[in-house]
Amino acid sequence: LPKAAIIFNATFVRPAKFYLNGFSNIPHVKYYYVFLCFVYIMTVVGNCFLLSVIYLVKTLHTPKYMIVFNLAFTDLCGSTTLIPKVLDTFLFDRRDIVYEACLSYMFFVFVFAGMQSWTLVTMAYDRFIAICFPLRYHSIVTKPAIAAMLLFCWFCLSSVLAVMVGLINRLSFCGSVLVQSFYCDHGPVYRLACNDTSLNAVMGWIAFIIILCIPLILISLTYVSISIALSRITSAERLKAMKTCTSHLMLVAIFFLPVLGTNITAVSSYIHPNARIINSTLTHTIPALLNPIIYSLKTEEVLNSIRKLCKRNRLSNTTLSKKVTS
């Protein structure tokens, strides 16, 4: 196995590079990487399209679509951080990654995954106010309030994850530097160290709780409150209110269920490393692909805005062609 290369003193060893292991003994695995490449292209197209629609259509410049814009942005950045590097590493067999680049890679993957999670919480808050306090919605859910919430999430997540990644620097890697993952994942990296990793394990659990557990609890509590509020109104109004939540619930299910499934399986029984890698790559990539599709096809406001943009483009093209012919 590759060995750590740079020795600072007799007790502290920092590697020049890590080596990413990825899949083991899977025939025709390159087809899977080609599939990931296709997923990435569609993710970029879908999210750029949604970002453009929200930016160009003035009627979508609302607090709700500020949150959708932030989700599309984090999806785009998260996929761009992860997939091109995975393809470069395994499709072109460049498995070594410089120590500093590995830590940066780890930080950005976790930050964007965390922001996806907390953006879904902000969406749940928006739906909660809209259904439980409809008369006060426009006074509570304002652009400055949503901007402050999102900026607070960015700042807090970046701070916690900077500490988590920074603590890797206190570790000594005197043995193998072969990372048993498809990217510089926190657990597989810190477990390679020779000295005490208990603080890193604690920070890993804190990050897991902040990125997955707290958001899921908050979203669940929000929907319990929404369910109680819906039980007090007529069935026609209830159906109308529930329709506004379907897109968000689909996004929550797509994001959280695969992650929870993988982690519960890993804790309760053995999961093959290859199966874990497939599940992890799909968990990081499929939600970012489906989010813009769900919001484009399931939300009437976005569909109407797309129609308006198409109509506007047709009119401008017609006017331009008339000017050219005249």
How does residue 297 score in pLDDT terms, banded at 50, 70 and 90?
A: low
pLDDT band at 295 (very low <50, low <70, confident <90, very high): confident
Give pLDDT tens digits for 25-47: 777 888 888 899 999 999 999 99
Q: Any idea how long the chain is? A: 326
DSSP 8-state symbol, 91: I
Q: Answer positive or negative: Cα dihedral of 190, 161, 64, 260.
A: positive
Q: What stretch of H or E contains 49?
A: helix 30-56
HSE, side-chain direction, 13 A CA sphere, residue 92: 9
What average pLDDT does range 64-77 have in this prediction?
A: 93
Reported as a single tens digit per residue, the pLDDT across 165-177 is 999 998 988 888 8
- What integer pLDDT is reported at residue 318 of this predicted model? 64
Q: What is the pLDDT of residue 161?
A: 95
Q: Look at 207 and 9; give whichever has higher pLDDT.
A: 207
Which one, of 138, 146, 143, 128, lies nearest residue 245 by Cα?
Answer: 128
Rounded to a whole number of angstroms, the CA Rg of the chain reads 23
Provide the 3-class DSSP secondary structure of residue 174. Answer: coil
Q: Which CATH number fits domain 17-225: 3.30.70.20, 1.10.3720.10, 1.10.760.10, 1.20.1070.10?
A: 1.20.1070.10
- pLDDT at position 3 is 47
**Residue 166 token pair:** 């920074």
**Which pLDDT does position 128 carry in this prediction?**
92
The full set of domain ranges for the chain reads: 17-225
Q: Which residue has the higher pLDDT, 156 or 251?
A: 156
Cα–Cα dist 117/101, whole Å = 25
What per-residue string of b and e applies to 253-262 under the rule 16 or more CB within 10 Å gives b?
Answer: ebbbebbeeb
* pLDDT above 90 coverage of the chain, percent: 40
The confidence score (pLDDT) of residue 321 equals 61
